[in-house]
């Protein structure tokens, strides 16, 4: 059973971090891994997707402030093995303080320890490379970088990697890259296609995940219904299977790391 | 008209760095768990903007990364000028950092604000005035103020939505403080 703490982060907003966290979390749980999705974005995108209006206001923020325990804040879902630690109520006027607390070295790792050693933790970070994102990278074993398949998003990846390298050097030597995921790919748009071609050509196959998430209206519909995309059709919507592929790739990488190497997979023939 | 052929973009640095960070996942390259040895500090008391805003001196917190320094600087500006939010962009429009309440401002209002600022910027940049003098204010709800901070060859945009515009003296002080703090922190800003 794999355990890892994965920060899902990007400098650019709107690239699909929350979509990735939610749907990958579901896929990992369906593959039999206890998975906890931790929301670090005070905008509460994840909780807003999943909870009924007026749902829980107790979450990570309250845990960090000492007014709730992790046990009280951790929400079980209908999917066995999938749990959610929402950000909780964050007063917009004091969200600066939330970022300040989360980014203090040692604070978030201590909280995540209370979730237990048997879980895969996915941290859904806010956009940007400051505040809670720095806290997540300081607490993570891995970072996963979703990038929108368009030029501006691709250009911001180097900054994320530079910040990762500095955090690894100065604060968290356990931090490594799990990989880069191409999101919102539109095969009918030349620029999008060119980004994907360039990424395939220039990035190491062990860095770039093979699973690509396309632009598809079903993601908006899933968001409207407050469910993972796989729930949008009986059995499983085809888009849900993409995340199962991604989850399988991720688990393969984690397993190979445990075996002692993080290099490319050997070919079968 | 044919589109000129050129490399789409150069991913060589990304390729090299990402490979190194991916290989760092091997157990020989790292401990199995992130360090959690630093005692957590007491949670800071909630801030309030009930007091009339005034731009006081900047008290630099203990920071490890330029990004944290940016947050502190923008938080200071936000509090001092009573803004709903403050953000910093590089001259190419890349987001560097931001603080404040974005959720209470409808997205379409924000977008309209930035569009009008962009139009003002465009008009300004087409004139001969030096960029370092830039201070523009879009009179709308929320009002948006953008000023530049000279930095290296280009500069940095700092924008506020809501709150009040800085006075001339305050603007000079803001620029000087940001420039000095960033310059004293590292040889390169967080944008690089």
Q: How far is CA B136 from CA A25, B146, B147, in A?
A: 45, 5, 6
Bin A54: left if φ > 0, else alpha if -120 < ψ < 50, else beta: left
Q: Which of B11, B26, B192 sits opposite A260 (nearest CB)?
A: B26
Listed residue (B102, B93, B94) closest to B142, CA to CA: B102
- For tokens 């201590």, what's the residue? A110
Could you tell me where the beta strands, DSSP code E, fall in chain A?
4-8, 35-39, 74-76, 82-85, 120-124, 142-148, 176-183
Domain A4-243 has CATH 3.40.50.300: yes
Q: Which of A92, A103, A167 sits opposite B103 (nearest CB)?
A: A92
Average of per-residue pLDDT values in chain B: 68
Fold classification of B66-185 is Beta-Lactamase (3.30.450)
The rounded percent of chain A whose pLDDT value lies above 90 is 38
Instruction: Tell me the C-alpha distance between A14 and A149, whole Å.
Output: 12
pLDDT at B191: 42
Return the domain boundaries, chain B: 66-185
pLDDT at A20: 94
pLDDT at A234: 76
Confidence of residue A23 (pLDDT cuts 50, 70, 90): very high
Instruction: Tell me the C-alpha distance between B17 and B24, whole Å.
Output: 11
Which chain A residue has its CA at the smallest distance from B67's CA?
Answer: A130
Give the distance from residue B120's alpha carbon to the nearest chain A alpha carbon, in angstroms.
23
Q: Report phi then psi at A223, rounded to 5.
A: -65, -40
Instruction: Tell me the C-alpha distance between B188 and B192, whole Å.
Output: 7
Q: Which of A128, A174, A204 sits opposite B32 (nearest CB)?
A: A174
Confidence of residue B115 (pLDDT cuts 50, 70, 90): low
For residue B13, give the DSSP letter. H
Q: Report phi then psi at B144, rounded to 5.
A: -120, 130
- Residues A196-214, mean pLDDT to the nearest whole number: 88
DSSP calls for A66-118: TSS-HHHHEEE-SSTTEEEE------GGGHHHHHHHHTSTTHHHHHHHTT-TT
Q: Report phi then psi at A8, rounded to 5.
A: -95, 110
Q: Are A174 and B33 spatial neighbours (Cβ–Cβ below 8 Å)? A: yes
Return the domain boundaries, chain A: 4-243
Instruction: Tell me the C-alpha distance between A15 and A182, whole Å.
Output: 9
Q: How far is CA B155 from CA A134, B51, B133, B148, in A?
A: 24, 32, 11, 6
Single pTM value for the model: 0.64
Residues of B in contact with A154 (CB under 8 A): 9, 11
Instruction: Tell me the C-alpha distance between A191 and A185, whole Å.
Output: 10
Q: Do A97 and B43 count as a contact with CB atoms less than 8 A apart?
A: yes
Q: Are A122 and A25 spatial neighbours (Cβ–Cβ below 8 Å)? A: yes
Q: Do B34 and A140 count as a contact with CB atoms less than 8 A apart?
A: yes
pLDDT at B117: 58
Estimate to the nearest angstrom the gap between the alpha carbon of B55 and the chain centroid: 18
Could you tell me where the beta strands, DSSP code E, fall in B48-111?
85-90, 95-100
Residue A126: in which H helix or E strand, if any? Answer: none
Listed residue (A224, A243, A176, A252) closest to A49, CA to CA: A224
Confidence of residue A51 (pLDDT cuts 50, 70, 90): low
Which chain B residue has its CA at the smallest distance from A66's CA?
Answer: B43
């Amino acid at each position: 059973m794999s355990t890892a703490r994965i920060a899902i982060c990007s400098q650019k907003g709107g690239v699909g971090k929350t979509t990735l966290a939610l749907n990958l979390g579901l896929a990992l749980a369906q593959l039999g891994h206890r998975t906890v999705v931790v929301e670090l974005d005070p905008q509460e995108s994840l909780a807003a997707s999943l909870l009924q209006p007026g749902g829980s206001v107790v979450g990570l923020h309250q845990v960090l402030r000492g007014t709730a325990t992790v046990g009280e804040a951790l929400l079980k879902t209908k999917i066995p093995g999938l749990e959610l630690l929402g950000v909780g109520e964050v007063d917009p006027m004091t969200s600066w303080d939330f970022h300040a607390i989360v980014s203090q070295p040692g604070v978030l790792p201590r909280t995540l320890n209370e979730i237990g050693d048997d879980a895969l933790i996915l941290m859904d970070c806010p956009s940007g490379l400051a505040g809670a994102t720095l806290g997540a990278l300081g607490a993570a074993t891995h970072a996963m970088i979703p990038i929108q398949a368009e030029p501006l998003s691709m250009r911001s990846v180097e900054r994320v990697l530079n910040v990762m390298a500095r955090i690894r050097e100065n604060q968290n030597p356990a931090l490594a890259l799990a990989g880069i995921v191409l999101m919102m790919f539109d095969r009918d748009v030349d620029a999008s296609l060119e980004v994907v071609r360039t990424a395939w050509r220039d990035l190491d196959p062990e860095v770039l995940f093979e699973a690509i998430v396309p632009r598809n209206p079903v993601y908006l519909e899933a968001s409207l219904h407050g469910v993972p995309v796989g729930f949008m059709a009986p059995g499983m919507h085809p888009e849900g299977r993409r995340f199962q592929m991604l989850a399988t790739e991720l688990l393969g990488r984690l397993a190979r790391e445990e075996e002692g190497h993080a290099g490319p997979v050997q070919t079968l023939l | 008209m044919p589109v000129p052929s050129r490399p789409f973009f150069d991913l060589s640095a990304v390729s090299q760095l990402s490979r190194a960070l991916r290989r760092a996942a091997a157990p020989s390259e790292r401990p199995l768990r992130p360090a959690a040895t630093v005692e957590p500090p007491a949670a800071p008391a909630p801030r309030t903007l009930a007091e009339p805003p005034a731009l006081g001196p900047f008290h630099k917190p203990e920071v490890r990364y330029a990004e944290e320094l940016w947050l502190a600087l923008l938080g200071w500006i936000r509090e001092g000028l009573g803004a709903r939010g403050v953000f910093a962009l590089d001259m190419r429009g890349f987001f560097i950092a931001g603080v404040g309440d974005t959720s209470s401002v409808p997205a379409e209002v924000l977008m309209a604000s930035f569009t009008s600022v962009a139009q003002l910027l465009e008009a300004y940049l087409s004139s001969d005035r030096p960029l370092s003098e830039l201070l523009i204010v879009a009179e709308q709800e929320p009002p948006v103020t953008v000023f530049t901070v000279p930095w290296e060859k280009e500069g940095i945009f700092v924008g506020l939505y809501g709150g009040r515009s800085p006075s001339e003296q305050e603007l000079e002080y803001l620029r000087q403080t940001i420039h000095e703090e960033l310059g004293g922190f590292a040889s390169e800003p967080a944008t690089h």
